[in-house]
Structure 1
Amino acid sequence: MEERKIVACVDRSRYATAVADCASWVSRQINAPVEFLHAIDRHLEQGSGEDHSGAIGFDAQETLLNKLLSSDSEKTKKARDQGRLFLNELRKRALDHGVVQADSRLRHGTLVNCLLELQNETRIAIIGRRGETSEASNRDIGRTFEAAVRALNKPVLGVHDEFKVPARFLFAFDGSAVSKRGVETVLQSQLFKGMKGTLLMCGEKNNSGIKLLEEAAQTLSESGVPTEFSHVQGDVVSQMIQGLEIHQADMLVMGAYTHSPLRKLFFGSKTEDMLRATKVPALLLR
């Protein structure tokens, strides 16, 4: 069976280098191959400025159709050639950063569909929080990033436009099944080796929640990941943002789906508030 890989999703935005550097770090941590994925939208055509409206004869219509097909073919070929050069540069960067095996894949279609096709081969997907389309529209969080997290049943690591190797993570813990599986992920993954962590629970204090928090932190510490814990009250997003600063964490870990107030951190208005206010990598677990 082929080894599952780190899929680094890249486009021609300024986030590509950060994604490549993050993928290189993850590869060194977990000793897994990297595959750079660049998806080319099938609808490459952009307005040429020519006016093709109006009534035309059959021969003229056929000529115009052939011209348009030829133009589309040229654009597709150009996009493929540029994509290969772009991927080769990122692959070389990863190898220079100590990655043992780095490959590339150029696909046609939407990124989300490509990721779904590769899901069984994927160990973790790394995606820039914004891309070419979101930069053009001034969106803080790209639609592609959000759609990928919704669709994939794999961990997604979202990065900003600059990446530095994290030394400490903040884990948004709420005692739910997702949080407990997240703790198991930390226990089993080499991604967190050499790091320290803080489990942060937000909400009304209760004995059962505090006990779960303490037990989870103790389990992680005993496994070799020194972990503190903290319980705070107040708005979830605000407390998480403050927690990153207070505990000097440079990576956020959280579940993508929960049935607690943390659920609002994803797929709701608070998701963008959280990611807009932070520039640290965010590991979203399923």
Structure 2
Amino acid sequence: MMKNVVACIDGTDVSTAVSDFGAWASQRLTVSLVLLHVLDKSEYPAQTDMSGNIGLGSREALLQELAELDEKRGKLALEQGRMMLETAKQRAMDDGVIEPITHQRHGNLLDSLLAIEQDTRLLVLGKHDEKLKPHVGSRVESVVRSLHCPILVTTDTFKAPEKVMLAFDGSDTTRKGVEMVAGSPLFKGVPCHLILVGNDNEAHRKQLNWAQSTLEAAGFDAPASIISGDVEQVLCDYRREHSIDMLIMGAWGHSVVRRFLVGSTTTSVVRNATVPVLLLR
């Protein structure tokens, strides 16, 4: 069964970009686009039990009215979600996607994604300001830790990438990432810059030469550099100096990149990036 690109739509200001990146990726990969909206059951429970709130001065009629209000609120939220999905579907069709699929679920985002993981080739999530009420973006770390498919974390503006950068460290994860990029149509025709952050020595040059040769054999223009310094700063500076549109990196590795990503730093990387980040597993 052919796997899908799944784009998570939540109605915030990044949803438009998520829809556009999903449409772009589904067409590059020639797979179906699934637009997913998850109504959080913790915020909008399917049923409300007010029995635990009975206290002095409480009245059964009041509790019934509160329950009815919660039910109405949930129905309105579901309808709003359906409208968001229809708007995203029309936008994707305007972008050239044939018959995008819409799904709405009532539950937990991570559980919903795990339920469809086996049919997901690429997951597209939007990044949000952590100061805002938690939405998709604030849950990126738990999603990345739990799912084993590539995850594209977008900014709030869509731009089809004209240059991408792959953070390479010679680990099995990033070597697999190079092979995934080389074998995928997602970035065909797009220059892929290879950056190894570390000391310029024979071992690193050998690893980077392998990565460069692999991409070039697949038809990529693949400039490669070894740069010493702080990983985050090096990647940020290089991205800015070379007008890179998207950062590609392994979600977990076994080197300084792993220490850079594991734990709360994963969220920091995604939050601080000014371009979309494609995390490979």
TM-score by structure 1 length? 0.89
Task: Quote the offset at 1:43 in angstroms.
Answer: 2.9
Identify the residue that residue 49 of structure 2 maps to in structure 1.
none
Task: Quote the offset at 1:116 in angstroms.
Answer: 0.5
Q: How does 1:247-286 map to 2 (within 5 A)?
A: 247-286=242-281
Identify the residue that residue 6 of structure 1 maps to in structure 2.
5
Identify the residue that residue 56 of structure 2 maps to in structure 1.
55
Q: In structure 2, give the amino acid aligned to 1:119.
A: E
Task: Quote the offset at 1:117 in angstroms.
Answer: 0.6
- In 2 relative to 1, CA 9–56 (structure 1 residues): closer, same or farther, beyond 3 Å? same
Equivalent of residue 148 in structure 2, options 140, 148, 153: 153
How far, CA to CA, are the matches of 2:274 and 2:166 in structure 1?
16
> Which range moves more in the overlay, 200-209 or 263-272?
263-272
Q: How does 1:196-275 map to 2 (within 5 A)?
A: 196-275=191-270
Identify the residue that residue 111 of structure 1 maps to in structure 2.
109
- What are structure 1's unaligned runs of at least 5 residues? 47-51
Identity %: 35
How far, CA to CA, are the matches of 1:269 and 1:199 in structure 2?
25
Q: In structure 2, give the amino acid aligned to 1:144.
A: R
Secondary structure, aligned partner of 2:223: strand
Aligned-pair Cα RMSD in Å: 2.1
> Which aligned runs of 4 or more in structure 1 are off by greater than 4 angstroms?
none
Equivalent of residue 119 in structure 2, options 93, 118, 121: 121
> Contact 1:237–1:270 at 8 Å: present in 2 too?
no
> Contact 1:175–1:212 at 8 Å: present in 2 too?
yes
Deviations 1:75-119 (A, max 9, x none): 111111111111000000000001123011110112111101110
Identify the residue that residue 44 of structure 1 maps to in structure 2.
43
Task: Quote the offset at 1:135 in angstroms.
Answer: 5.2
Deviations 1:111-133 (A, max 9, x none): 111101110111110000127xx
Does residue 66 of structure 2 align to residue 68 of structure 1? Answer: yes
Deviations 1:239-267 (A, max 9, x none): 01111123321110000001111113323
Identify the residue that residue 19 of structure 2 maps to in structure 1.
20
How far, CA to CA, are the matches of 1:114 and 1:97 in structure 2?
26
- What are structure 2's unaligned runs of at least 5 residues? 46-52
> Contact 1:8–1:20 at 8 Å: present in 2 too?
yes
- In 2 relative to 1, CA 146–232 (structure 1 residues): closer, same or farther, beyond 3 Å? same
> Contact 1:201–1:232 at 8 Å: present in 2 too?
yes
Secondary structure, aligned partner of 2:132: helix
- In 2 relative to 1, CA 145–264 (structure 1 residues): closer, same or farther, beyond 3 Å? same
Does residue 197 of structure 2 align to residue 193 of structure 1? Answer: no
> Contact 2:125–2:137 at 8 Å: present in 1 too?
no
Task: Quote the offset at 1:53 in angstroms.
Answer: 7.2
Secondary structure, aligned partner of 2:76: helix
Aligned residues: 274
How far, CA to CA, are the matches of 1:28 and 1:272 in structure 2?
28
TM-score by structure 2 length? 0.91
> Contact 2:4–2:119 at 8 Å: present in 1 too?
yes
Q: In structure 2, give the amino acid aligned to 1:168.
A: K
